[in-house]
Structures are given as C-alpha cells and as structure tokens.
Amino acid sequence: MPLSGTMDVAAFAAGAHLAEIHGFKTDAWTLKGAQILNVYYEVDIDLAQQLLPVTVRPVIPAYAMFNVTHYPESLVGPFTIADVRLGCRAGVRPRGFTLASYVDSEAAARELAHRWGFPARVGKVALRAFHDRIVGRVVTAEGKPALEVEMLDRDFISGGDIQYVSSMHLCRNREDGKLTIVQCDPEWTFSKAERGRPNLVSFDSALWNGGDKVRPNWPISASYAIADVTLSKIRYVSDPNQDAFRGTTQVAA
C-alpha cells in the first residue's frame, strides 16, 4: 500500500500560523525578474510523514525544499520570501507542502495569504549573490535565526534543466471557516539559471511549524535562477482530511 500523510490536521492548524484565504477566485499575479534560490535536502521519512496531511503522499526518499526568492518589483513593492516545504505527491503529481513562509513585507504577506493561502508571517528575509555562492537568510520578527542556506560553486546551466514544483497551502477559507488545501501553480520564464553545491548552515525546524520533525540529513541539489514568475489563478483545492483523488475540487480551468 502507498504511504499517506498522517498529520493531525486540527492539531497542526491550532499551533501553526495559517492564512485566511479570501475565496478562490483571485486573478493571476506576474512578478518580473525574480531571483530564486532552491535547495533540497533529504529528511527522515517517518517524521516527515507526520507533517503531511492525508491529502498527499510522502515521497521516497523524503526531502525538504528550502526556497528563498527576491521579487524586485510588484504592485506592493519589492519583497523577499522564504518557504520550507516537504516533498510529496497529490495524486500522481509532485508537489511541495508548505510548512511556513516568512516575508519581509507586510503588504506582500497579506496579498500572498489572502489570495493563495500562503502561511506567511513577517520576518527579515535576505537573498544575496556573491561571486562564489548564493546566500539566503531568515530571522523572525522576534530576532530568532530561522534559516541560513547556501549554494556554493556556482555553475551555469539552462533554465530547461530546472523543474520547480507547485506548492500546497493549508489555510482557512474565510467564506465558510473550513480548513482547506490550496494548490498554487506558478509559471516560470527563465532568463538565467545556475546549479551548485547545497549547504544548510543553520535551520530551526520549530520556527517553521515543524516541531523537531524536520531533520535534514543529506544534501541533494541546489539551483539559482532569475525568472519572471506568474502566480496563476487557483485551479484546485482539496479537503485536508481526504486523499487527493477523492477530496480535490477544480475551481478554475
């Protein structure tokens, strides 16, 4: 039998900083010239499974995705966001279940939460490019270091070599007060891409709604890209307490 997530959704929601989404009919949002650092690490599958709702299935080997993205321009001004996601599948499709997000702009955090259900909270988020490395850092609003991640030994590749995955966001629907999972399907148009060696300098799982269960143990890959990103209209939402094959509803074509 395939594995499924074993999260206690109600308990997780009670302790996490979940967004309240304002309906599922948001328009697409195009963000030009995004700078994206994406790092993968293997994690303990038995622990990671407890952080995934039954909607999705854990992947083998289990991995976490550490993403830091700087958007130099948007309708709410420039902002930088960091996410920690767990690799999973919704049905047969690869996805990343987002445990938490930090954003360095209150306006951007509000847009992302209300329109796509990002579990976004405000913090200090930075992405810097050096000649030999890309560095992403996150510090909470209370001053606690949450993440420092690097890509070392930069080397050019084609944007066609990068395959990012869509994200799944557990949030609360303002219209009926119910917990739901929203699938966010960005589209990327790459103008530059690099790969390198991943290095997780520091990571506090508890600050990402992971308790002590996200334990990175082996580096997999790292990439850095510059791309135009379009956060698309919401196409699918899912019941967090049902398998995606049975509990998913299409809300847009």
pLDDT at 1: 58
pLDDT at 221: 97
Distant-in-sequence, close-in-space partners of 215: CB < 8 Å, separation ≥ 6:
43, 44, 47, 205
Half-sphere exposure (CA, 13 Å, Cβ side) for 66? 34
pTM: 0.96
pLDDT at 91: 87
| 9-250 topology per CATH | Acetoacetate decarboxylase-like (2.40.400)
CB of 247 closer than 8 Å to CB of 90: no
The pLDDT profile of the chain, 253 residues, written as one tens digit per residue, is 578 999 999 999 999 999 999 999 999 999 999 999 999 999 999 999 999 999 999 999 999 999 999 999 999 999 999 999 999 999 889 999 999 999 999 999 999 999 999 999 999 999 999 999 999 999 999 999 999 999 999 999 999 999 999 999 999 999 999 999 999 999 999 999 999 999 999 999 999 999 999 999 999 999 999 999 999 999 999 999 999 999 999 997 6
Distant-in-sequence, close-in-space partners of 45: CB < 8 Å, separation ≥ 6:
58, 60, 61, 62
pLDDT at 190: 97
